[in-house]
Amino acid sequence: MNAPFSLSGIAVSQGIAIGRAYVITNTAMETLHYLVPEEGIESEVKRLQTALTVVREELVSLRAALPEDAPAELGALIEVHAMILADEMFSKELFNIIRTRRYNAEWALMTQIEELSAKFDNITDPYLRERKTDLEQVAERIIKALTGEQEEKPVSTENSEQVDLVVVAYNVSPADMLQFRESFFKGFVSGTGGQNSHAAIIARGTDIPAVFGLSDALPLIRQNDWLIVDADAGVVLVNPTPLILAQYRAKQSVQHKAKRRLSRLKKMAAKTLDGTAIELLANIEFPEDCRMVVNNNADGVGLFRSEFLFIGRGGGISRFPDEEEQFEAYRQAVVLLKGRPATIRTLDIGADKVLPSSEKVKVLNPALGRRAIRYCLAEPEVFLTQLRAILRASAFGPVKLLLPMVTHGSEIDQALGFLEEAKNQLRSRGDRFDDAIQVGAMIEVPAAVLALPMFTSRLDFLSIGTNDLIQYALAIDRVDPDVAHLYNPLHPAVLAMLKMTVDYAVEAGIPVSICGEMASDHQLTRLLLGLGIRQFSMHPGQLLKVKQEVLLSDLNILTPKVARILTLCEEQEIAVAVQDLHQEEMSI
Ligand code: PEP
Ligand code: MG
């Protein structure tokens, strides 16, 4: 085992995870990971055996089909692949992994390939070292054979060896993160990703401790190393001493107890000490998340990131969910919310939320490119299909429509034009919908803040997306760990923009909420309350912590203090003042 050491990264969620490292390569990331139930082990072994036979036969026919004048290397290559497959040790070890660790066949395969690859890396002979590529190619063939015949994936949440695992990945895209939402992994460590990358947002949504941005230090972690992921501090401790391990286990148990205590707040109304009612809404990615929304007694959904229904399925536009599939998803959300409002944001595709196969051309600045509303207006069929699906869902309960990344009045006008067209299409089909559906826009581009009348004159509500607002205002890529230290929600320019937006919306009599990650940070709740925010939308897992802050806050005390904070010009000074505000004792 390695000697103990620690690595610093970016804290993207909270809590402590302890477990063994499961180092996962990019190829492995794309394969499925689940534990096979005890009774399914032998059929999983059989599934792998069948796939191995398919690949063997494939290689035989490939060899036979080679033209006489084919280069000799080609035949030799196929033979090397066939030899790898014929190696009994290779298949025996694979079956062994399935039987002892209960990994599904794909996962077992990738585990073994990674172990073998590591051995190849240590070979000095360059020819032999190159054979690692053959191994990977064979693995690819087997994976293809497996997925070709794959049916239902049994999912189990128990780990056969009762050893908790922490995923260590070089690069986690939002689509990759989706597969871990329901996973049994206890923590995440990633080489890339900033605090507000979408992968980080999903990590927070899973409520699993995660540290991102370890970049060059990541290779220091080896398969099976013991890890402590301290997501509060953004630190990963590798192979800790027994004493440190014991200290962290104690800390972990204190955190679990505090979480249980918080759940007592579920039933309480979110009111400040002076009696002001605060609306606490939830951000969701999938309709099923509405169960958590109801479970935490949120007031509704303030942001349904609909793009997650589109990404992660590969194949680009041709694989987009059709109207029926989208309608079912939105309707499911509306029904699960039992009368609470669902604010559905139209497709916010682009930047780090890419559709892998649709990105034919590499765009230099994707966050400034054809993203969100720009994409939808350029793809009317995609937009109209989604609008019809959302409208149809509005017949089953309260739905609001939210437009992302709007910068120009003309974009709102065009979007509203498409909405009318979608309504007409439904009318001619005789489909029901809420004709008075409310339409709002995200305020997430600085130009929108400086041109608010353009929005308030055309829309029913506003929702501030601080994640992008900060990115675009401070010119910091929210995904880039190299500039993550400059991504500061407490920059005076950011606070000034929040204040401007809230004041203007209040004056115009238009509701305004905040749905960026600032809303989830309970250490900022009082600041936001003092700025005049009365509607917060966040991941449901953060809701009770924010509610606790609301219950302990008095607007009469907060408001003048926040007004003073707004006069400060130094980031450090603001940070101290906000921290003091957060810690101040307030009681009736
Ligand atoms: C935001 O930008 O703050 C926001 C809520 O949208 P997203 O994080 O999905 O870009
Ligand atoms: Mg955004």
DSSP for 523-543 reads GGHHHHHHHT--EEEE-GGGH
165-169 and 16-24 beta bridge pairing: parallel
Q: What is the pLDDT of residue 451?
A: 97
Strand stretches in 4-142, DSSP E:
5-8, 10-11, 16-24
Catalytic annotation, pick one of 81, 198, 522, 539: 198
Nearest CA among 182, 172, 181 for reference residue 212: 172
Q: Residue 327 pLDDT > 70, yes or no?
A: yes
Give the DSSP letter of residue 546. Answer: H
**Mean residue pLDDT across the chain:** 88
At residue 382, the pLDDT reads 96
Q: DSSP string spanning 441-491?
A: EEE-SHHHHHTHHHHHTT-SEEEE-HHHHHHHHHT--TT-GGGGGG--TT-
- Residue 400, beta-bridge partner list: 343, 438
**pLDDT, mean of residues 377-406:** 98
pLDDT higher than threshold 70 for residue 356: no
The answer, yes or no, to whether residue 354 has pLDDT greater than 80, is no
**pLDDT band (50, 70, 90) for residue 81:** confident
* Residue 415 backbone phi and psi in degrees, to 5: -60, -40
**Is 441 near ligand 1, meaning CB less than 6 Å away?**
no
Contact 587, 273 (CB under 8 A): yes
Q: 513-560 pLDDT, tens per residue?
A: 999 999 999 999 999 999 999 999 999 989 999 999 999 999 999 999
Which of 239, 232, 268 is closest to 523 using CA atoms?
Answer: 232
Residue 584 C-alpha to ligand 1 middle, in angstroms? Answer: 30
Q: For position 461, what pLDDT does the model report?
A: 98
With H, G, I as helix, E, B as strand and everything else as coil, classify residue 283. Answer: strand
pLDDT band at 488 (very low <50, low <70, confident <90, very high): very high
Tell me which amino acid residue 541 is: G
| CA-closest candidate to residue 206, choices 463, 367, 386, 13 | 13
Q: What percent of the chain has pLDDT over 90?
A: 61
| Residue 313 pLDDT grade (very low, low, confident, very high; cuts 50, 70, 90) | low
pLDDT, residue 193, reads: 79
537 ligand 1 Cβ < 6 A: no
Contact 15, 129 (CB under 8 A): no
Identify which of 354, 305, 366, 352 has the alpha carbon closest to the alpha carbon of residue 197.
352
408 catalytic residue (yes or no):
no
CA 240 to centroid of ligand 1, rounded, Å: 37
- Any atom of ligand 1 within 6 Å of the Cβ of 501: no
Band (122; pLDDT cuts 50, 70, 90): confident
Q: Confidence class of residue 115 from pLDDT cuts 50, 70 and 90?
A: confident
Evaluate whether 68 touches 217 at the Cβ level (below 8 Å).
no
Question: Separation of 465 CA from ligand 2 center, angstroms?
Answer: 5
Tell me the sheet residues that pair with 539. Answer: none
pLDDT at 95 over 60: yes
Record the tokens describing residue 112, joined without a space: 């073994």
Report how far residue 426's alpha carbon sits from residue 431's, in angstroms, rounded to the nearest whole number.
Answer: 5
Is residue 155 very low, low, confident or very high in pLDDT (cuts 50, 70, 90)? very low
Measured CA to CA, the distance from residue 354 to residue 479 in angstroms comes to 13
* Residue whose CA lies nearest to ligand 1 atom number 4: 465
How many other CB atoms sit within 10 Å of the CB of residue 314?
Answer: 12
Question: Which atom in ligand 1 lies closest to the alpha carbon of residue 348?
Answer: 9
Task: Please compute the mean of the pLDDT values over residues 382-409 and round it to a whole number.
Answer: 98
CA pseudo-torsion sign 182, 264, 536, 583: negative
List the residue whose alpha carbon is closest to atom 6 of ligand 1: 465
Residue 149 pLDDT greater than 50, yes or no = no
Give Cα 296 to chain centroid, integer Å: 20
What mean pLDDT is predicted for residues 120-125? 72
Whether 431 has a pLDDT exceeding 90, the answer reads yes
Q: Is the pLDDT of residue 430 over 50?
A: yes
- What is the longest distance spanned by two Cα atoms in the chain? 91
> Which ligand 1 atom lies nearest to the CA of residue 351?
10
Residue-level pLDDT at 150:
41
pLDDT at 565 over 60: yes
Average of pLDDT values for 572-581?
A: 97
CB-proximal residues (5 Å) to ion ligand 2:
444, 465, 468
Is 239 a pocket residue for ligand 1 (Cβ < 6 Å)?
no
- Mean pLDDT over residues 447-455, rounded? 97
Say what the pLDDT of residue 156 is. 42
Provide DSSP, 267-336. Answer: TS--B-TT--B-EEEEEESSGGGHHHHHHTT-S-EEEEEGGGGTTTS-SGGGGS--HHHHHHHHHHHHHH
Active site residue 515: yes
Token pair listed for 303: 């942001």
Q: Which amino acid is at 279?
A: E
pLDDT of residue 319: 80
Distance, C-alpha 485 to centroid of its chain: 21
pLDDT at 396: 98
Ligand with smallest separation from the Cα of 479: 1
The pLDDT score that the predictor gives to residue 424 is 98
275 has pLDDT over 60: yes
State the pLDDT at residue 228.
97
Candidate ranges 6-10, 58-62, 354-358; pick with highest mean pLDDT: 6-10
Asked whether the beta carbons of 469 and 444 are under 8 A apart, the reply is yes
Closest of 416, 451, 466, 453 to residue 437, by C-alpha = 416
Give the full edge-to-edge strand order of the sheet including 10-11. 5-8, 235-238, 226-230, 16-24, 165-169, 187-190, 210-212, 10-11
Residue 453 DSSP SS3:
helix
In this structure, of 127-131, 160-164, 342-346, the range with the lowest mean pLDDT score is: 160-164
What mean pLDDT is predicted for residues 7-19? 91
Centroid of chain to Cα 478: 13
Higher pLDDT among residues 257 and 432, named by residue: 432
pLDDT of residue 154: 35
Structure tokens at 135: 């191994």
202/193 Cα distance (integer angstroms): 12
Tell me the best of 349, 444, 533, 537 to mutate to test the pocket of ligand 1, counting ligand atoms within 8 Å of each CB and taking the most: 444
Say if residues 262 and 545 touch (Cβ distance below 8 Å): yes
Q: What's the pLDDT band for 501 if we cut at 50, 70, 90?
A: very high
Q: Which two tokens stand for residue 424?
A: 């007409």
Give the pLDDT band of residue 25 (cuts 50, 70, 90). low
pLDDT value at position 67?
Answer: 62
- C-beta separation of 565 from 527 below 8 A: yes
- pLDDT per position as a tens digit, 228-258: 999 999 999 999 999 999 999 999 999 989 8
Q: Residue 73 above 80 pLDDT?
A: no
Round to whole Å and give the CA distance between 32 and 386: 29
The Cα–Cα gap between 120 and 114 comes to 10
Q: Which of residues 476 and 67 earns the better pLDDT score?
A: 476
Cβ contact 447:474 at 8 Å: no
* Inter-CA distances, 240 with 164, 210, 233, 340, Å: 15, 18, 16, 47
CA distance 298 to 337: 10
The Å distance, Cα 191 to ligand 1 centre, comes to 22
User: Which domains does the chain carry?
Assistant: 5-26+154-261 (3.50.30.10), 27-147 (1.10.274.10), 264-583 (3.20.20.60)
pLDDT band at residue 182, thresholds of 50, 70 and 90?
A: low
CA 156 from centre of chain? 22
Contact 160, 41 (CB under 8 A): no
Look at residue 494 and tell me whether its pLDDT is greater than 70.
yes
pLDDT in tens, 184-236: 788 999 988 777 777 788 778 777 899 998 888 888 898 789 999 999 999 99
Which of 515, 521, 537 to probe ligand 1 with, by most ligand atoms within 8 A of CB?
Answer: 515
129 to 113, 429, 557: CA distances (angstroms):
14, 63, 68
pLDDT, greater one: 391 or 364 = 391
- Exposed, middle or buried by CB within 10 Å (0-12, 13-18, 19+), for 187? buried
208 φ, ψ (degrees, to nearest 5):
-110, 135
C-alpha 487 to ligand 2 mean position (Å): 15
- Residue to probe by mutation, ligand 1, list 467, 517, 542, most atoms within 8 Å of CB: 467
